[in-house]
Amino acid sequence: MKFWWLVVSLLLAIPAVGQSGSEASKQFTVGNERLTNYQPANASDRLKWFAVSTAGPLSLLAAGPISAGFGTAINRPKQYGPHWEGFGKRYGMRLTGVSTGNAIEASLGSLWGEDPRYFQSPQRGFGTRVKYVIKTTFVAPRRDGTLHPAYARYIGNVGNNFLSNTWRVQSENGAGTAALRCLLGVVGRMSGNAFAEFWPDVRKRVWRK
């Protein structure tokens, strides 16, 4: 039990080492950990980010089916069963958790101006961009464009995974499984950042005339 609480504590205390609408994925110049030409997120931006991150194509057609499909293949939790009905339950359970976490991040972050959107790296080079993707999993811009630990993101991740214990089946509503979901949430956010960072380049190469 102490191990899992340690995992959660680390997620909350990760230093600034560091989904996302296409309009937010523009290039900005980073200098002294600050985004220049930056416009703070308003209520409309936050609502759009919530909608796209929760119910956009990447969430509904990629992450959701992959997560639910994997759970169905290994039949976890067993209460749902290894069939289409079980797939649907797992898909829906993931969606409730994602929507809760995104709502917490978008709303709570507005109190201190934390921007949930992803902004592409201004620097080229695969390695540099990979480091940027990792870094921005844990940091986010404030109203002045400076990068700080993404506390609303941490709270949304931990909050939704522990809150969802109240409606999950018994086999996955413990502190240990919630902490594991928190860790997977970090991995998922990093994967979403990577997609937002590199997909525009892939799309240009694949569909270029």
Residue 10 lies in a domain: no
Closest to 20 in 3D by CA, of 205, 191, 208: 191
**Identity of residue 150:** A
Q: What is the pLDDT of residues 51-98, one digit of tens each?
A: 999 999 989 998 989 999 999 999 988 899 999 999 999 999 999 999
Residue 7 lies in a domain: no
Residue 24 lies in a domain: no
Helix, strand, or coil (residue 22): coil
Residue 32 lies in a domain: no
d(CA 101, CA 24): 20
- Band of pLDDT at residue 204, cut at 50, 70 and 90: confident
Tokens of 68: 């639910």
Residue 9 lies in a domain: no
Enclosing domain of residue 166: 42-201
d(CA 121, CA 133): 8
- Total domain count for the chain? 1
Residue 137 lies in a domain: yes
pLDDT of residue 119: 92
DSSP 87-154: HHHHHHHHHHHHHHHHHHHHHHHTTTT------B-SS-SHHHHHHHHHHTTTEEE-TTSBEEE-HHHH
d(CA 141, CA 107): 15
Asked whether the predicted pLDDT for residue 209 surpasses 60, the reply is no
Asked whether the predicted pLDDT for residue 2 surpasses 90, the reply is no
Asked whether the predicted pLDDT for residue 37 surpasses 60, the reply is yes
Alpha carbon of 32 to those of 49, 84, 93, 145, 149: distances in Å? 26, 51, 41, 10, 15
Asked whether the predicted pLDDT for residue 161 surpasses 70, the reply is yes
Question: How many beta carbons lie within 10 A of that of residue 141, not counting itself?
Answer: 25
Dihedrals phi, psi of 149, to nearest 5 degrees: -50, 135
Residue 135 lies in a domain: yes
Peptide bond into 77 cis (omega under 30): yes
Say if CB 116 and CB 151 are below 8 A apart.
no
pLDDT of residue 123: 86
d(CA 200, CA 76): 35
**Identity of residue 135:** K
Residue 8 lies in a domain: no
